[in-house]
Amino acid sequence: MPDDSLASAGPALSRTDHRAALEAAAAGRDGELRALGDDHMVLRRSGNDTLLVSFEDLDQLRQTPGGLPWSTKLLRKRRWSTLTVMCDGRTWFRDPALYAYFDQLTDDGVFDDYARVIFAGGGIGAYAAGAYSVAAPGAIVCLVQPYATLDREVAPWEGRFRSSRALDFTSRYGNAAQMIEAAAQVYLITDPTRAADAMHASLFQGDHVLRLNTPHAGEDIWARLREIGILDRVVAMAGNGQLTRAGFAELWRRRRHDPGYQAGLMRKLDGMNRPWLTALLAGYILRNGENAAARRRLNDALVRLEEQGHAAPAGLSLRPRGAMLLAGE
């Protein structure tokens, strides 16, 4: 399995144990762990002259083995320096303490000490990566399923995240789509089949924005890229200026063998009343092994096609329990 895939989660770490793990990570890399206000922490670790700035959720980290940020593997494998901003709860990284922290980094010339600075994140983390990238003009920005803002004047269509509507998105660093103007290159990864996400993505404009589509990726594209084992490679290629549409498409093809992607696509087809497509997908899944959900959908789709007077896709027929499709059938 690729080394950036998600490991099986064990029992969640306690807050005390997780804090100890983060402190050990900082000490082991001549780094720093600092609290910023009541809801955020920053972990800095030293490496080479490439700095990766990423944004993660402490609750999610506590659910992962070891509790260390995603950037840890890039630190170990590529020797990148890392600065990881972590939130405790759905804060959207909207906190004056964070504004002051990034202001100080800029004023102290910290970003100038690195040959390359990369901002990366997924979902709410992508919002933060885009918003705070303005602190390091000339940075490379990798945004996975980014949200531009929750400001009602800018994104009136956004009906999700009701618990976050009280947050202020009109003050500093508020609109991530505007904050990327000074970036050298922006890689924007999104699912064009999800209307609200696509509308957010459309607000990120500029000749320096490269759009990379992941149709039918599901609700959490960052997690999907990790599950199929390509997230580290995507960010590394972006950081090296080597990520292209063709190169990303080649990596994204790995989704075809991912059970999570297959299951999500089957659920999507369930609501579309497309029995021919359902049969094709279920048949493809069954060629790679027994799958009860795929077998049920295949049989149901074939029955519906027959009732409608349509032929089944070539080579597919009703499958009793335990029967399997052979490669090439």
CB 72 within 8 A of CB 28: no
- Is the pLDDT at 327 greater than 50? The verdict is no
pLDDT at position 226 is 95
Neighbours of 272 (CB within 10 A): 9
How many other CB atoms are there within 10 angstroms of residue 191's CB atom?
19
Kindly state the tokens that stand for 324.
């399997």
- Per residue in 110-126, pLDDT (tens digit) is 999 999 999 999 999 99
Which range has the top average pLDDT, 22-36, 174-188, 269-283? 174-188
> What confidence tens digit (pLDDT) does each residue in 160-180 have?
999 998 999 999 999 999 999
- Predicted pLDDT at 238: 97
Question: What residue type is assigned to position 117 of the chain?
Answer: V
pLDDT of residue 324: 47
pLDDT for the residue 319: 78
Q: Is there a contact between 30 and 46 (Cβ–Cβ < 8 Å)?
A: yes
Give the pLDDT of residue 235.
97
User: In the predicted model, what is the mean pLDDT of the chain?
Assistant: 92
Secondary structure tally for the chain: helices H, strands E: 13, 8
Inter-CA distances, 163 with 167, 169, 182, Å: 9, 14, 31
pLDDT of 188 over the 70 cut: yes
Beta bridge partners of residue 190, listed in sequence order: 213
Grouping H, G, I as helix, E, B as strand and the rest as coil, residue 84 is: strand
| β-strand pairing of 81-87 with 116-122 | unpaired
The count of other CB atoms within 10 Å of the CB of residue 129 is 29
- Render pLDDT for 274-294 as a digit per residue (tens, 0 to 9): 999 999 999 888 988 888 898
Residue spans of alpha helices (H) in the chain: 15-28, 58-62, 72-78, 96-107, 124-132, 176-179, 195-202, 221-227, 231-239, 245-252, 259-270, 275-287, 292-307
- pLDDT of 55 > 90? The answer is yes
